[in-house]
Every structure is written in C-alpha cells, then in structure tokens.
Amino acid sequence: MRIDAITIFPDYLRALDLSLIGKAARDGLISVHRHDLREWAHDRHRTVDDSPLGGGAGMVMKPEPWAEAFAAVIEQGKAELGPQAEPLIVFPNPAGQVFAQATAQEWSGREWILFACGRYEGIDERVYEHLEAAGHEIALVSLGDYVLNGGEVAVLALTEAIVRLVPGVVGNAESLVEESHSDGLLEYPLYTRPARWVDPAGAVREAPEILLSGDHGRIAAWRSERSAERTRERRPDLWDARD
Ligand SMILES: Nc1ncccc1[N+](=O)[O-]
C-alpha cells in the first residue's frame, strides 16, 4: 500500500516513521510519502489561505496550491504504481462520515490512499468539485463529532487503524480477530498473571476462576457473554445495530 499525505505540517506526520507503521514501511509492506502543500504555493510568502468570500471568521485554504499538489502527487504515485493506478483521496473533515472499523477493514485492501490535510476553516469547495470532475474517488471522514485544528491528527489515527489490518503488519493476525469492533461488539475484559493480585490498597483481586480452568469451550462462552454484556451497557447503539 502506498500512502501519500499532503499537509502544511509534514513534520506532524513524522510519527508515521515510528512503531508499527514505521516497521511496516521498513518491511516494504507500505510506503509513506509526506508532501508540504506550500511547495505548490508560488508567491513569496507561500500563501495557502485567504479570508472567506462572503465574510466570516477564520481563513479558507486556496484552491490553486491544492490543485497543483494533487496533480503532482498523483503523477508521482502513478510513476510508482503504474498509469492505471488511482488513489482513494481521503479528506479528514469534521463534516465527513464518522470513520469506523468496517471502513478501516475495507480500506486496508486498497493499493493507494492519498490523505489531504485541511487546516484553518477548511478547503475551498471547488477543490472537491475539481477532483470529482476529474473522476477521482473522494472520501470525507471524521474521527468523531468534535473539531480539531486540522487533519493531521486524524491522518495518524486513520493510518494506524487501516495499516494495522494490512496482512503481515501485525505479527499475530489472530490478535486482530478478537478486538473491540472487529465483530461489532466490545472486547471482553482481559486478565493476565498474577491470577491473584493484592493491589496497593491491600485489596485481594482474583482473576475470574474460569480463565484458569483450561476449558476453552467454557472460556469462549464466558468471553462472549462478557462481550455482549459490555456492549449492551456501554454502547447500546452498537448492540441495537448488530445484525
Ligand atoms: N474532527 C476533525 N476536525 C478537524 C479536521 C479533521 C477532523 N477529523 O476528525 O477528521
């Protein structure tokens, strides 16, 4: 998978060189390319924003640098992946659809994802129109119903959620199966050694006996019950939506 990200803060995305994502890149499972939008702003101050037409507070990102940046980055991607390759262009945006595990799963199979990080109040609407008129596939997604100052934090989260599902990235693929949201439910409570723990307040805290029984059938049933119970309590919306 090739991942491109266009942003005015490329250093913000250096975290993609670390840990799981960084290792996936070093292992050749993905390639990550950061691009500074200002490279395509040609005035002396490399201006990428201006005040909103029609008035209002804040600033809007100008269309010209974005159009040039997309053309250049898409050309670079096609040079690597072939002329037929097409990116999924993802705009992290609070007005987008809330991102969910099912989308992460779907996008983990994509060959090429191009993230466009908006800042300020957002990007001139004509950039989206221009890309759609050129036949590009666009998705606006949000991490949740709150407002960040830009898309970079979302790119870190989205990339991690997607790339960890790319085959080979997470060592033990088994660990991906029984996670919260992987089956539409929340994960059951987890325990490890010591089975009997005296906490700092002196309370004796025992792990559930059944987990020490070695009876895998009963353990699986116990876990399934806890998962259902936890989902009903904490996320009735997920519980009601399950098929
Ligand atoms: N919530 C957000 N706020 C601003 C930019 C991007 C966002 N997001 O979640 O993708």
Contacts of 51 (CB under 8 A, 6+ apart): 59, 60
With pLDDT > 70 as the criterion, what percentage of the chain qualifies? 100
Give the ligand 1 atom nearest the CA of 144.
9
Compute, in angstroms, the gap from residue 20 CA to the centroid of ligand 1: 23
Give the ligand 1 atom nearest the CA of 141.
10
Residue ranges per domain, the chain?
2-172, 179-241
Compute, in angstroms, the gap from residue 96 CA to the centroid of ligand 1: 8
Compute, in angstroms, the gap from residue 90 CA to the centroid of ligand 1: 12
pLDDT value at position 40?
98
Binding residues for S-adenosyl-L-methionine: 118, 143-148
* Whether pLDDT at 242 is above 90: no
pLDDT value at position 243?
76
Question: Which residues face 36 on adjacent strands?
Answer: 7
Candidate from 7, 103, 115, 143 with most ligand 1 atoms within 8 A of CB, to mutate: 143
Topology given in CATH for the domain delimited by 2-172: Alpha/beta knot (3.40.1280)
Give the ligand 1 atom nearest the CA of 96.
10
Residue-wise burial string across 37-75, b where 16 or more C-beta atoms lie within 10 A, e elsewhere:
bbebbeeeeeebbeeeeeeeeebbbbbebbbebbeebbe
ipTM of the complex as predicted? 0.98
Task: Burial-class residue 124 by CB neighbours within 10 Å (0-12, 13-18, 19+).
Answer: buried
Which CATH number is 179-241 given?
A: 1.10.1270.20
pLDDT value at position 52?
97
User: How crowded is residue 206: how many other Cβ atoms within 10 Å of its Cβ?
Assistant: 11
Compute, in angstroms, the gap from residue 122 CA to the centroid of ligand 1: 10
Confidence of residue 173 (pLDDT cuts 50, 70, 90): confident
Lining residues, ligand 1, CB within 6 Å:
92-94, 142-143, 146-148, 150-151, 154
pLDDT value at position 170?
93
* Whether pLDDT at 183 is above 90: no
Dump pLDDT digits (tens) for 130-158.
999 999 999 999 999 999 999 999 999 99
pLDDT value at position 172?
81
Compute, in angstroms, the gap from residue 192 CA to the centroid of ligand 1: 36
Candidate from 9, 119, 153 with most ligand 1 atoms within 8 A of CB, to mutate: 153
How far apart, in whole angstroms, are the C-alpha atoms of residue 73 and residue 69?
6
Compute, in angstroms, the gap from residue 143 CA to the centroid of ligand 1: 6
Dump pLDDT digits (tens) for 49-97.
999 999 999 999 999 999 999 999 999 999 999 999 999 999 999 999 9
Strands laid side by side in the 2-7 sheet:
31-36, 2-7, 112-116, 88-98, 137-142
Q: Is pLDDT larger for residue 7 or for residue 182?
A: 7
Binding residues: 118, 143-148
* Whether pLDDT at 180 is above 90: no
Dump pLDDT digits (tens) for 101-119.
999 999 999 999 999 999 9
123 neighbors 66 (Cβ within 8 angstroms): yes
Give the ligand 1 atom nearest the CA of 150.
5
